[in-house]
């Protein structure tokens, strides 16, 4: 069974590996139910989805109908205004077949204009606060992609005391001095305030090659068991972070197998050899976030 630790200040003892349910965006219910059995096998008790993840919420709904209390369930909204965000939340609840979610997250909040709208009067943050008052959500988080994610999360935390953040974290991204500095600063703030840190893109190899569409991820993932294991163990060696699984159900068994150990850690030499062997590259630039 995969290790469980406190998820920030929520009081939930969460599996350190969180199921990234974007992997269910375009699968059948039969395929989804097979994933559910795999999650139970490894003791995964935390699911992260979003209204924008295709059929993901619809696939999770039948699970929640019977096992709601077994999971910490999180979803997200891309909407920036209060009314639009609330409408999406009600849609998510219906699709998930539940009357509340444990955490609702303002998704991909890195654009300056989006940020201003979401944080302003009648913005998405007000929707989250109203939903929390009504018992529709318990906790509120914020997510981001790209090189600006850590510093935008820091800005968000100055405006509101979010319960969790989510952002990219892998060895290649940390070779960027600026990203490493921003990420470290964010970790410090989150540690001080007991804010949960969720990470994505653990097994990213590089940007998508259009001729190779064998995986549902928008990026090119590592495929071999050895490479995935080293990358997953590198992420989980940091005791402060949680690892959200990649967006393809074919990769899930290898990720969970790699996470099912207490012997975390991969040496710098091993990671550098992976970069050379698999021609790994950063996914983001400041022009593409």
Fold adopted by 4-278: TIM Barrel (3.20.20)
Question: What pLDDT is recorded for position 212?
Answer: 60
SS3 (DSSP) at 218: coil
- Which among 155, 159, 179 is positioned nearest to 284, based on CA atoms? 179
User: pLDDT tens, position by position, for the chain (289 residues)?
Assistant: 999 999 999 999 999 999 999 999 999 999 999 999 999 999 999 999 999 999 999 999 999 999 999 999 999 999 999 999 999 999 999 999 999 999 999 999 999 999 999 999 999 999 999 999 999 999 999 999 999 999 999 999 999 999 999 999 999 999 999 999 999 999 999 999 999 999 999 999 999 876 666 899 999 999 999 999 999 999 999 999 999 999 999 999 999 999 999 889 999 999 999 999 999 999 997 644 3
Locate the domains of the chain by residue range. Answer: 4-278
- At 13, list the tokens: 């003892």
Distance CA 19, CA 242 (A): 10
What residues have CB less than 8 Å from 224, skipping those under 6 apart? Answer: none
Nearest of 42, 46, 48 to residue 2 by alpha carbon: 42
Tokens for 66, please give them.
């019977």
């Amino acid at each position: 069974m995969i290790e469980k630790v406190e998820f920030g200040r929520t009081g939930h003892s969460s599996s350190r590996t969180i199921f990234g349910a974007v992997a269910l965006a375009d699968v059948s219910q039969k395929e989804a139910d097979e994933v559910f059995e795999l999650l139970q096998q490894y003791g995964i008790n935390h699911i992260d989805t979003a209204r924008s993840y295709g059929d993901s919420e619809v696939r999770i709904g039948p699970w929640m109908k019977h096992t709601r209390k077994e999971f910490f369930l999180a979803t997200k909204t891309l909407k920036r205004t209060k009314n639009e965000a609330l409408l999406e939340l009600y849609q998510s609840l219906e699709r998930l077949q539940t009357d509340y979610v444990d955490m609702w997250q303002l998704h991909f909040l890195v654009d300056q204009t989006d940020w201003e709208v979401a944080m302003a009067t009648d913005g998405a943050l007000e929707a989250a606060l109203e939903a929390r008052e009504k018992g529709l959500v318990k906790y509120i988080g914020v997510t981001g992609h790209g090189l600006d994610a850590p510093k935008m999360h820091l800005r968000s935390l100055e405006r509101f005391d979010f319960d969790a953040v989510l952002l990219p974290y892998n060895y290649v991204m940390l070779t960027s001095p600026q990203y490493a500095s921003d990420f470290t600063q964010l970790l410090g703030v989150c540690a001080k305030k007991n804010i949960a840190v969720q990470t994505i893109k653990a097994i990213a190899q590089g940007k998508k090659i259009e001729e190779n569409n064998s995986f549902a991820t928008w990026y090119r993932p590592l495929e071999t068991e050895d490479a995935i294991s080293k990358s997953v163990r590198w992420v989980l060696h940091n005791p402060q972070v949680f690892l959200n699984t990649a967006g393809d159900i074919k990769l899930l068994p290898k990720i969970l197998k790699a996470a099912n150990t207490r012997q975390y850690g991969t040496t710098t030499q091993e990671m550098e050899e992976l970069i050379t062997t698999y021609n790994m590259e950063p996914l983001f630039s400041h022009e593409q976030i």
